[in-house]
Chains A and B, each alone.
Chain A
Amino acid sequence: MEFFLISMLNSISYGLLLFMLSSGLTIIFSMMGVLNFAHASFYMLGAYFAYQISGWIGFWPALAIAPLLVGAVGMAVERYGLRTVHKFGHVAELLFTFGLAYLIDEAVHLIWGRSSVPYAVPPSLDGAAFTLFSTEYPIYRVFMMAVSISMLIGIYLTLTRSRIGLVIQAALTHPQTVETLGHNVPRVFMLVFGGGSALAGLAGVIGGNAFITEPGMAAAVGPIVFVVVVVGGMGSLVGAFLASLLIGVIQTFSVALDYSFVNLFAKLGITIGPNTPLAALWDLTISQTAPVLPYLLMVLMLIFRPKGILGTREG
């Protein structure tokens, strides 16, 4: 029971972090049609900015300032890079963001070095929030979940209830009409890209000290973010939310399952020894494959339901 409850909490908090990471990507994709390969790099920038700023003026100001800075970087990228590339089509945009990821990586290497930086959880969030049976549950994880959920609500309200949200939605389907009505559509796109980057930055501020702030962190989360977006359905915010939770649950619970084909065959009365053909494969337990299961999920999803859980486009 203790194990189940703790694992459930772990999977939800991991899922919510994944959502924080991927929401920006899915927004940018659904609004602008740009698949931003540099998204994880903005996540990394968020962590490094927060590390630098929290060293000067503390964690709480950094929590607000770092995502804004990342958003500003994102807007600059859109204004001076992406907008120019846009007229050459999607492939050019894709390649542009791909190259951008490398540039950000190298810039981080040059400024902060190749080793990890000591970006720690602030003392006020360090420690246990509550004790479940005998396991402590850290305050920081609770904080992470709270930020993620308020982020979901915030984005949802902004897009559906606010004036700017309505303009953004209209600009998607009818850019000419919106422009004729006197709205600056390129500026709207710039805001969307900056906003998406800022969300990645916020995830970085929070993920950076929960895990490790180091130059490899972008590469480490890059692939999983795409899995979330594909499984959730390209461009669907709620889909991304569900996919994140699903992946969190799959990954967390499969770690606990020490079953392999050897156990299965043993139940059927067949013994598998080290000399059986493909012995290494039969011996692989579910827990050993846990970290690659999300990718398996993505492949299956692409085969059987290419539009994802809540996606609207086919394939």
Chain B
Amino acid sequence: MKMTFNRVLLAGVIASALVAPSVLAAETLKIAYIDPLSGAFANVGEAGLKHFEFVAADINKRKLAGDVKFEIVPFDNKVSPQESLNVLKKVEDQGIRYITQGNSSGVAGVLIDAVNKYNERNPGKSILYLNYAAVDPDFTNSKCSFWHFRFDANSDMKMEALTDFIAKDPKIKKVYLINQNYSFGQAVSRAAKEYLKRKRPDIQVVGDDLHPIGQVKDFAPYVAKIKASGADIVITGNWGNDISLLIKAAKDAGLNAPFYTYYGGGIGALSSMGDAADGKVKQITEWHANIRPNKTEKYANAFDAKYGGPPANISFYYLRVNNEMYMLAKAIKEAKSTDPKAVAHKLEGMKYEADTGEVEMRATDHQLIQPLYISTAAKAYHNPKDPKTAKFKGTDPEVKYDQDDSGYGFKTDARIEAYVTVQPTSCHMKRP
């Protein structure tokens, strides 16, 4: 016991040494990273943090924001809305003016409200909220805010693209929906039904399950239900362990229907699904390691060299984190100021040449319009000439990289151009 305790202590000392600001530049811009760093979703939050720290170091090195240095300050919100409000208080007290968050739309909704209120009461000290992953469509429609910018495609945009892809396949007649029972899961289920009805009225929705988030250990009963329904495909917005356990249970029962997912390639998902994912799991994302052409390859390799090995085993995943931070740097440079209001005005309508093509931060609702990819999990390519691929078993050279050291990667099915993903918005933004 004593040894364990010492280890914890030692790690604490090392961690605090790492967190301490290392650069004392003319101006250091602190960005509060608010996501789970403990509890069931700690792995996801930890991976996000590494992405932010890595890109901040890149921005500082290349002076992309001029003389302004970025510093990421991590805060643990345990994916709890209540805890997030406490964290926001701390952020306000420390005078940090930028926050970024991504995991769970439940948290994001609360943060948007709180930031709006705070900015109204403290006009000179406003806070800007950069959202990298919470995809509830409301945030850029009925709940849209001048102080909120979303860098991920929202769940309706992704569903539009997924259903376009599904509609083209005449063999699909029966669709099963299974989602987590909270705002995002419900949004996925609603959009899937609505869009399929519009595009392919002959497709039957044979099941629509909502289950509590993070509570289900054994998905075998759900899989038995899917099997009994005779579904051709399954659509799910599940993330974290909820997706991995679902796919594993499906493989165990010999369910052949492919899964159309949002987060089938999320952090750690492929390593826990393993063989069960091969050829079965499709995902819609803004990037994956085997897209062609892949302008992010060098960057991703540098990231993987740092974090790809044990114990972290994280591959580069969030291109949108890079887009967010590079666009922020560009806005600061253009505004010649780090004042959130001035920066927000520069971000509105900004066009930026991202690695996957031109993206645009739509001014009307602060939703980033970007190209998307649909891809399928496959065994990574075993290249006899490259010793690094010794443990890979795939035969398709297109699947060059695996993810999270799992031996599995993704192969592109379709690229969806940015303009195709555009959706109307009901946002009437109040500008200060």
Contacts and interface: CB of A to CB of B under 8 A. Distances in A.
Nearest to B269: A116
Contacts of A256: 221, 224-225
Given A3-B224, A216-B241, A140 B252 contact: yes
A10 B221 contact: yes
A82 to B, nearest CB: 11
Interface of B: 1, 4-5, 7-8, 11, 39-43, 46-47, 181, 209-212, 214-218, 220-222, 224-225, 227-228, 241, 244-245, 248, 252-254, 267-268, 271-272, 274-275, 310-314, 404-406
Interface in A273-300: 287-288, 290-292
Given A115-B271, A219-B40, A288 B211 contact: yes
* Max count, chain B CB within 10 A of own CB: residue among A11, A135, A288: A135
A92 interface: no
A10 B218 contact: yes
Given A114-B42, A115-B314, A219-B40, A7 B221 contact: yes
A289 to B, nearest CB: 8
Contacts of A110: 7-8, 11
Q: Main SS of the interface on chain A?
A: helix
Contact of B4 (A103, A212, A224): A103
Contacts of A211: 217-218, 245, 248
B220 A10 contact: yes
Contacts of B39: 216, 219
| Among all A-B residue pairs, the 7 with the closest Cβ atoms | A113-B311, A136-B254, A216-B40, A255-B221, A291-B215, A138-B252, A10-B220
Interface string A238-256: 0000000000000111011
A117 B215 contact: no
28 contacts: A3-B227, A6-B253, A7-B224, A10-B218, A13-B220, A110-B7, A113-B312, A115-B311, A115-B312, A115-B404, A118-B271, A118-B405, A131-B254, A135-B227, A211-B218, A212-B241, A212-B244, A212-B248, A214-B268, A216-B39, A216-B43, A220-B214, A221-B217, A255-B209, A255-B222, A287-B209, A290-B221, A292-B215
Contacts of B215: 291-292
Contacts, number: 148
Contact of A216 (B42, B211, B248): B42
B222 A220 contact: no
A6 B224 contact: yes
A76 B11 CA distance: 24
A107 interface: yes
B252 A116 contact: no
Contacts of B5: 103
Contacts of B244: 116, 212
Contact of B210 (A113, A117, A288): A288
Interface centre among B218, B267, B275 (most CB of A within 10 A): B218
Contacts of B311: 111-113, 115
A118 B4 contact: no
Contacts of A107: 4, 7-8
Contact of A290 (B211, B248, B274, B314): B211
B272 to A, nearest CB: 4
Nearest to B313: A115
Nearest to B216: A291
Contacts of B253: 6, 135-138
Nearest to B218: A14
A314 interface: no
B241 A135 contact: no
B211 A116 contact: no
Given A212-B272, A255-B222, A287-B209, 10 more contacts: A6-B224, A136-B252, A212-B241, A214-B43, A219-B40, A251-B218, A255-B221, A256-B221, A256-B225, A288-B209
Contacts of B274: 118, 120
A128 B224 contact: no
A80 B228 contact: no
Contacts of A117: 271
Given A113-B310, A216-B40, A255-B221, A80 B271 contact: no
A262 interface: no
Contact of B272 (A100, A114, A118, A221): A118
A115 B252 CA distance: 23
B38 to A, nearest CB: 9
Contacts of A106: 4, 8
A77 interface: yes
B43 to A, nearest CB: 4
Contacts of B404: 115
Contacts of A137: 253
Nearest to A138: B252
Contacts of B209: 255, 287-288
A115 B310 CA distance: 10
A249 to B, nearest CB: 10
A216 B241 CA distance: 10
A182 to B, nearest CB: 31
Contact of B1 (A103, A136, A221): A103
A4 to B, nearest CB: 10
A146 B44 CA distance: 35
A226 to B, nearest CB: 15
A138 B252 CA distance: 5
B254 A128 contact: yes
A128 to B, nearest CB: 6
A39 interface: no
Contacts of A215: 42-43
A156 B252 CA distance: 31
Contacts of A221: 217
A3 B252 CA distance: 15
A81 B221 contact: no
Contacts of B254: 128, 131, 135-136
Which one of B7, B47, B253 has the highest number of Cβ atoms from chain A below 10 Å of its Cβ? B253
Contacts of A14: 218, 220
A135 B224 contact: yes
A284 to B, nearest CB: 9
A116 B8 contact: no
B145 to A, nearest CB: 26
Contacts of B8: 103, 106-107, 110
